[in-house]
Amino acid sequence: MNKRLSWLAVGGLALIFFACKSGRDPQTVAEVDGTRISMQEVEKQAGKSLFDLREQQYRLEKQKLDEYIGATLLTREAQNRKISVSTLLDQEVNTKVADVTEEEIRQFYNENKARLRIEFDKLHDQIGIYLKEQKVQARKNSFLKDLRAKAKINMYLKAPPIYRAEVAFKGAPLRGTEKAPVTIVKFEDFQCPFCKAAQPTVRELLKKYDGKIRLFHKDLPLDAIHPLARQAAEAARCAAEQGKFWEYHDKLYSDSPKLSSDDLNSAAKDVGLNLPSFEQCVKIGKYRAAVQRDVNEGADLGLNGTPAFFINGREISGAQPLEAFSAIIDEELAQAR
């Protein structure tokens, strides 16, 4: 440990000791006329932005630490073989990487043609160099993985705490097991194509984690780009009044973006609602305030797009693949156990 790190460590212990000796909670960061302000209160006030900064710092530290460990392992391996690091890399990486073929260059170009928008002949050599670099890096990563597997490495760098937003869901439409250990709250817009695209994934999650997750729906109509979404959200609440929110919810997504007043009434008829009661409910805007509360909450959470999901308070945005949701759900289930 260098002098700077030693001083920081000793200084940190001294601060904690002083705080304890003075009777002050180490989590107290300020006092105003005897009223304590804790770090937890600061974090709550700062919201997700503070946690994002900490996560960004951690990722950079983790990246640099991994690079440092890799360099250390390469140096040690080179010393054991009594060769230079560059010679080691030539033997274990460069000479073991296959040349890039014309077929690979052509395939890469065809797969990225729409994005590249430049003639193949003009990009041929650059693509070849890029693919070669990718192969070299992949081989180097594989070699480093083998070296790490043989070494005893203790990692002391700790990830920052996970940010969990406080998302109210009492009274929101529920799908799944009421007492499930994992709660998912989704904010959606019935006219949003990405929300529609996310529905098969949501259904698959409910099937995969049957009895382990519960799903709550909240509305976030994006009025500026989806002018029909808000009335659709209010109509879905009217369907909920007759005990058929999810049937109507699924029907709206099936029909979307056809969400005119006639379309909403047609969907109500298709799912078996009492049509006069439904139409009156929508007409008087019975659930206008309820939908607006969801919109206000979405704004407080910093949401500016849909769909947005909160898994036990952990945010995941967009129509992500099943694996992205499963990774978080599995972590939450492991913690629950």
Give pLDDT tens digits for 118-162.
999 999 999 999 999 999 999 999 999 999 999 999 999 999 988
* Res. 3: pLDDT tops 60: no
Taking residues 242-253, what's their average pLDDT?
Answer: 98
What's this model's pTM, rounded to 2 decimal places? 0.71
Residue 24 has what pLDDT? 63
Residue 25 has what pLDDT? 76
Residue 9 has what pLDDT? 40
With residue 314 as reference, give the H or E element that holds it. strand 314-317
Output phi, psi for 117, to 5 deg. Answer: 55, 35
Residue 45 has what pLDDT? 81
Cβ–Cβ contacts within 10 Å for residue 169, how many?
Answer: 17
Residue bearing tokens 């203790």 = 154
Percent of the chain with pLDDT over 70: 93
Residue 215 has what pLDDT? 98
Mean pLDDT of the chain: 92
Model confidence band, residue 5 (pLDDT cutoffs 50, 70, 90): very low
Describe the chain by its helix, strand, coil percentages, rounded to 5. Answer: 60, 10, 30
CB 74 within 8 A of CB 85: yes
Rounded Cα–Cα distance for residues 171 and 173 (Å): 7
Collapsed DSSP state (helix, strand, coil) of residue 217: strand
Rounded Cα–Cα distance for residues 194 and 232 (Å): 16
Give me 223's structure tokens.
């009025």
Taking residues 224-243, what's their average pLDDT?
Answer: 97
Rounded Cα–Cα distance for residues 122 and 105 (Å): 12
Residue 19 has what pLDDT? 47
* Res. 239: pLDDT tops 60: yes
Tally the C-alpha atoms within 13 A of residue 304's C-alpha that lie toward its C-beta: 1
User: How far is CA 174 from its chain centroid?
Assistant: 22
Rounded Cα–Cα distance for residues 220 and 240 (Å): 17
Rounded Cα–Cα distance for residues 53 and 12 (Å): 22
Residue bearing tokens 């929508």 = 282
pLDDT single digits (tens) 172-217: 999 999 999 999 999 999 999 999 999 999 999 999 999 999 999 9
| Amino acid, res. 98 | A
pLDDT single digits (tens) 89-117: 999 999 999 999 999 999 999 999 989 88
Rounded Cα–Cα distance for residues 55 and 175 (Å): 32
Residue bearing tokens 């700062």 = 46
* 76, 78, 81, 83 alpha-carbon torsion, rounded to 10°: -150
Rounded Cα–Cα distance for residues 103 and 297 (Å): 53
Residue 26 has what pLDDT? 77
User: How far is CA 279 from its chain centroid?
Assistant: 38
Model confidence band, residue 82 (pLDDT cutoffs 50, 70, 90): very high
Map out the domains of the chain with their CATH numbers.
3-45 (no CATH), 56-150 (no CATH), 174-336 (3.40.30.10)
pLDDT single digits (tens) 7-35: 334 444 444 444 444 556 778 999 999 99
Residue 42 has what pLDDT? 87
Residue 58 has what pLDDT? 96
Rounded Cα–Cα distance for residues 229 and 192 (Å): 8
Smallest CA-to-CA distance from 248 within 218, 221, 227, 268 is with 268
Output phi, psi for 156, to 5 deg. Answer: -110, -5
pLDDT single digits (tens) 278-335: 999 999 999 999 999 999 999 999 999 999 999 999 999 999 999 999 999 999 999 9
Give me 261's structure tokens.
């007043």
